[in-house]
Amino acid sequence: MSIASTPPTTVEGTPAAAAVRRTAPLAHAREHLRAVPSLPLPTAGDAESPVVPAVLSAGLPVPTLDGPTDYANFDHAASTPALVSVKAAVDTALRTYSSVHRGKGWASAVTSGWYEQARAEVSAFVGAREGDEVVFTRNSTDSFTLLARSLPRDTSVFVFESEHHAALLPWKARQTVRIPVPGSAADAVVLLEEALRTRHGRHRLVVLTGASNVTGELWPVRELAAVARRAGARVVLDAAQYAPHRRVDLDELGVDYVVLSGHKLYAPFGAGVLAGRADWLDAAAPYLPGGGATRSVTERGVQWHTGSARHEGGSPNVIGAIALAAACHALREHAEAIEAHEDRLGKALLEGLREIDGVQTYSLFGDEHERVAVATFTVDGLDSSLVSAALSAEHGIGVRDGKFCAHLCVDTLLDDPYSAGPDTAVRASIGLATTAAHVERLLTAVADLAAHGPRHEYAHGSEGWVPVDDTRDLAPARPW
């Protein structure tokens, strides 16, 4: 019996019309279900395990229904924990924290210097070219919106429907050509070629992703960028899911702009980047009109700066920029070790999930296509949000469920014309806070869920699925 076939029951004292759905632990009618497959996983003491940058949340204790455990973080694709080195940089910067480019005092001079050094560090991280601008923003959504407002008036935009909403939605509808979700990497190239033939104009922009935030699959950026260039179009790369795992280089990838977010790069929230060609940005109206963006203000009008300052009006998030730069420095320094760490754990995770009966994994381009360490899956008969709730409450595992701000992509992946299958999925994403023991714990937990359902009873209300008798302390004391 599945969750879908379990009728709603009335909680005692609750009118039937307002009843929440409840589910007790379930048993699936299968003759045989395999436990976690035996896979070679690196251990903490494995001499071959690469040394990667330390995260602040390592060993974070979290409550479960059966007692405390360390947090198994499989939610890196949403947000990453901060690095220890990032905190050290922030602590240092806070001692001299002051406004940038606004004063002659020593603290202001030091802070201003660090802010521009942060820009240089990020510039090196993305392989910015001479003449490119590096603009600090709040996040990827902010960066794409800035670029959208900077486009020449007659620009046509070409974007795949598989994009994250941050890259899909900022463009004016009447000037945008949406390209269907491709079924393979080669299909993506063909679809882009066909789309570029449908609309011509003086200016054209192609929006690409480096790695899918749904499946982690790497897109054929170089091939797609070459198609765009032959058609006289510029390219903006969404590197939010790509930059934490692979080296970004504007020239090598053949793109004109790159967008990324600090909170996916082991820095705190609130800092992002738009980097790339200067001409459109310098010709556009300032994104944030105000102090810092102005060269002069007189009764006759305003003269605006060109360069990055043009779009960084107001007092900038200097600590966020320094934190982002510190993260970029660490990721560049340990790039090979990070990729090796994630590759080993990612392959073990994906192969393990595929061997569990009752678990379905998903891909855009085929199971063998290269990807970063992300696995999206469903468990037969179980609502995805119930799976994520049970993983958290019973096992101390953090995953993400839903459509991951990429609704059209997920709808395409889950579409099954022959059955009423799931409409949401679970995403497990590996990063520097993930260990081999965490991967083993997740595989064991998912296998148990697939075979027996949740161990505890859950109710579904306005906050989603929650344990009926939740013994966890979910309201710790405020940190201030």
Give the residue-averaged pLDDT of 198-211: 94
What's the mean pLDDT when you consider all of the chain? 90
User: Range with the lowest mean pLDDT among 204-208, 305-309, 328-332, 373-377?
Assistant: 305-309
**Which residue would you say has higher pLDDT here, 473 or 218?**
218
* pLDDT value at residue 17: 33
* pLDDT value at residue 43: 39
CB atoms within 10 A of CB 397: 24
What CATH number has the domain spanning 84-333?
3.40.640.10
**Given a cut of 70, is residue 39 above it in pLDDT?**
no
Give the residue-averaged pLDDT of 55-59: 94
Dihedral sign (CA 236, 242, 244, 246) = negative
* pLDDT value at residue 104: 86
**Given a cut of 50, is residue 467 above it in pLDDT?**
yes
Structure tokens at 342: 């994630």
CB atoms within 10 A of CB 131: 8
* Tens digits of residue pLDDT in 244-291: 999 999 999 999 999 999 999 999 999 999 999 999 999 999 999 999
Query: How would residue 103 be classed by pLDDT, with cut points 50, 70 and 90?
Result: confident
Structure tokens at 409: 């992509």
* Tens digits of residue pLDDT in 143-153: 999 999 999 99
Q: How many whole angstroms separate alpha carbon 348 and alpha carbon 441?
A: 12
* pLDDT value at residue 1: 30
Taking Cα atoms as reference points, which of 92, 150, 139, 103 lies closest to residue 304? 150
Inter-axis angle of helices 106-125 and 318-333, nearest 10 = 40
Q: Where are the domains of the chain?
A: 23-81+334-467, 84-333
Which class does domain 23-81+334-467 fall in? alpha beta
User: 313 and 100 in contact (C-beta within 8 Å)?
Assistant: no
* pLDDT value at residue 13: 36
Structure tokens at 441: 């714990």
Structure tokens at 124: 């090196």
SS (H, E, C) the chain: CCHHHCCCCCCCCCCHHHCCEEECCCCCCCCCCCCCCCCCCCCCCCCCCCCCCCECCCCCEECCCCCCEECEECECCCCCCCEHHHHHHHHHHHHCCCCCCCCCCHHHHHHHHHHHHHHHHHHHHCCCCCCCEEEEECCHHHHHHHHHHHCCCCEEEEEECCCCHHHHCCCCHHHEEEECCCCCHHHHHHHHHHHHHHCCCCEEEEEEECECCCCCEECCHHHHHHHHHHCCCEEEEECCCCCCCCCCCHHHHCCCEEEEEHHHCCCCCCCEEEEECCHHHHHCCCCCCCCCCEEEEECCEEEECCCHHHHCCCCCCHHHHHHHHHHHHHHHHCHHHHHHHHHHHHHHHHHHHHCCCCEEECCCCCCCCCECCEEEEEECCCCHHHHHHHHHHHHCEECEEECCCCHHHHHHHHCCCCCCCCCCEEEEECCCCCCHHHHHHHHHHHHHHHHHCCCCCEEEECCEEEECCCCCCCCCCCCC
User: 318 and 108 in contact (C-beta within 8 Å)?
Assistant: no
* Tens digits of residue pLDDT in 341-381: 999 999 999 999 999 999 999 999 999 999 999 999 999 99
* Tens digits of residue pLDDT in 411-456: 999 997 667 789 999 999 999 999 999 999 999 999 999 999 999 9
> pTM for the full model?
0.89
Pairing of strands 203-209, 155-160: parallel
* pLDDT value at residue 31: 33
